[in-house]
Structure 1
């Protein structure tokens, strides 16, 4: 058995992302703060808002974020009045959010905080650097609904994925969706021409790379136009299709419909958070000879499982955890039920 701290002790930047609202991210964050905050100075921020009593999206009760004295927090100016800690303002940024400009503070006492962080990865990285300059030894970024991009390797060193019964009343569906997400997050990185493709992405949305090394650039503004360009340019000479942005159902359906035009195709995306396709399309794509790789590999440490649903219908926690362990290749933890132990 290994405790959570042993998994994260060597990292400086950690992100938490969730499959859905109310799957236990805040509970996990509080557990990390409680267990790790006594060993390291923590820096904490969020993509979006977190820490409020009532979830502003689902209108359900949720746990608040309780921090230790000495922690460094990046949050919106309007959230400061909702933080019941004694605080020292360290820095005021010009990063504007719906909750005001982002302010970096130091907690001079234990207490509850309301956190609303920046919305863009570039800003998140700058905030992290500032908090580290003020003494943060481990920075935790709490991801918001549908914003898994904090998991990518140029923002955080490691990632934890939270899943739970709030995703669906069907346990098997939750397990299957979680398995698919884990598979995408753990995709192998494409090292051979990664820097070259990243440079291409500065000016175009997508490109083909043929087996002879030649390229065809595709610069479009939407998925409909991109689907048309895919059909026009896809041949059996194409080895790689590289895309900046999301792999949507429309794009994936286009490749499946034109499967007779290629032999074995590798689809290269920025990172494993860019896939917005269901299990049916994912499995069909694999059957068509399509493989997926990423430019930025994500270091997924483990997943947490929350058997409780805010709708009042809970899973059997032992069965839920067991089914997840059978389907995913990373450790699984029930933050509350396991008393902070990962098997």
Structure 2
């Protein structure tokens, strides 16, 4: 039994997330689709945006096409239906719209290449996945065709498969370091304090930077985001402050003016790890300074795929990237999808 069979026993929906363009995400998708056919797993295939075209619409670089086997359930916009080389049976015309037409749910009746697309909104994607299960899909793969941060959000799927590779850097060390950083962020601890969780749940209708005291007292600041608000947050933190909830993006500017002793004393809370926009070196410095953070929901990483080749014309020696990445992430399956 292969990787996908093992994953299908634990998850029902998996998002494939690329660390960057040309990190091998579409190659990983094709690898998993082929394995599903071997294991006789009926897949549902969709995307947050559009994928499956022969060249990247942003960079113009050539990219792998998506090949689907018989009985796969796939989402295809009306304007892309005629472009499919596979034989498609239309199961349902949904009301989920895209810039290139409403989404149709189709069953592949003759294997071939398909340009896939799906709704961008997470809520719409979840509803569409439910319909795919109704039509017989056993496992759904969601291709992250828009951007890494949005597709990785925990409400999108049960877990993610993270695709990384040589495109990140000519330095093997840096590729492994940056990938490990993202993995570590995605696996940040979830907030265990139920009193704090309840306090935040009661104020999430209109999100603001929120401070929670040790006795459960709540103070909501007139800040809808922490960006540029570090001086106000610093003024609000007292000896009794235990948590600081930051809605939206979390960057260096959010904490730039918070006094070191206050930064060390409180624990920050974020909705999920995709809100963090801090590089690996700055993050390490924050941790050394005593910074601590929890998330309301973290992200499960089911596997990491590596691509040792870069469109820039350089590559890593066969097996070296995979083996080095596996050493850095010993508890996560690492697959070289190009071999």
Same fold by TM-score greater than 0.5 = yes
Q: 1:191 to 1:37 in 2, by over 3 A?
A: farther
* TM-score between both structures, scaled by the size of structure 1: 0.90
Tell me how far 1:225 sits from its aligned partner: 4.8
- Is 2:235 aligned against 1:229? no
Q: 1:221 to 1:204 in 2, by over 3 A?
A: closer
**Counterpart Cα distance in 1 of 2:139 and 2:12:** 5
**Counterpart Cα distance in 1 of 2:208 and 2:75:** 32
- Is 2:84 aligned against 1:83? yes
Mapped contact 1:201–1:244 kept (Cα < 8 A) = no
Tell me how far 1:32 sits from its aligned partner: 1.1
The CA RMSD over aligned residues, in Å, is 2.1
What are the within-5 Å matches in structure 2 for residues 65-214 of structure 1?
65-193=66-194, 194=197, 196-214=199-217
Tell me how far 1:140 sits from its aligned partner: 0.8
Between the two proteins, the alignment pairs up a number of residues equal to: 335
Tell me how far 1:219 sits from its aligned partner: 4.4
Q: Give unmatched runs, 5+ long, in structure 2.
A: none
Per the alignment, residue 292 of structure 1 pairs with 293
Instruction: Give CA deviations for 1:273-297 in whole Å, capped at 9, x if unaligned.
Output: 2211111221122122111221113
| 285-294 or 95-104: bigger deviation | 95-104
Q: 1:205 to 1:49 in 2, by over 3 A?
A: farther
Q: 1:132 to 1:3 in 2, by over 3 A?
A: closer
Mapped contact 1:51–1:63 kept (Cα < 8 A) = yes
Per the alignment, residue 340 of structure 1 pairs with none
| 132-141 or 89-98: bigger deviation | 89-98
Per the alignment, residue 14 of structure 1 pairs with 14
Per the alignment, residue 248 of structure 1 pairs with 251
Mapped contact 2:96–2:103 kept (Cα < 8 A) = yes
**Counterpart Cα distance in 2 of 1:17 and 1:226:** 31
Mapped contact 2:191–2:269 kept (Cα < 8 A) = yes
**Counterpart Cα distance in 1 of 2:257 and 2:204:** 21
Per the alignment, residue 328 of structure 1 pairs with 329
Mapped contact 1:18–1:148 kept (Cα < 8 A) = no
- Is 2:218 aligned against 1:215? yes
Q: 1:196 to 1:46 in 2, by over 3 A?
A: farther
Tell me how far 1:142 sits from its aligned partner: 0.9
| 107-116 or 243-252: bigger deviation | 243-252
Q: Give unmatched runs, 5+ long, in structure 1.
A: 338-343
Partner-residue secondary structure (3-state), 1:245: coil
Mapped contact 1:188–1:294 kept (Cα < 8 A) = yes
* TM-score between both structures, scaled by the size of structure 2: 0.91
Mapped contact 2:14–2:160 kept (Cα < 8 A) = yes
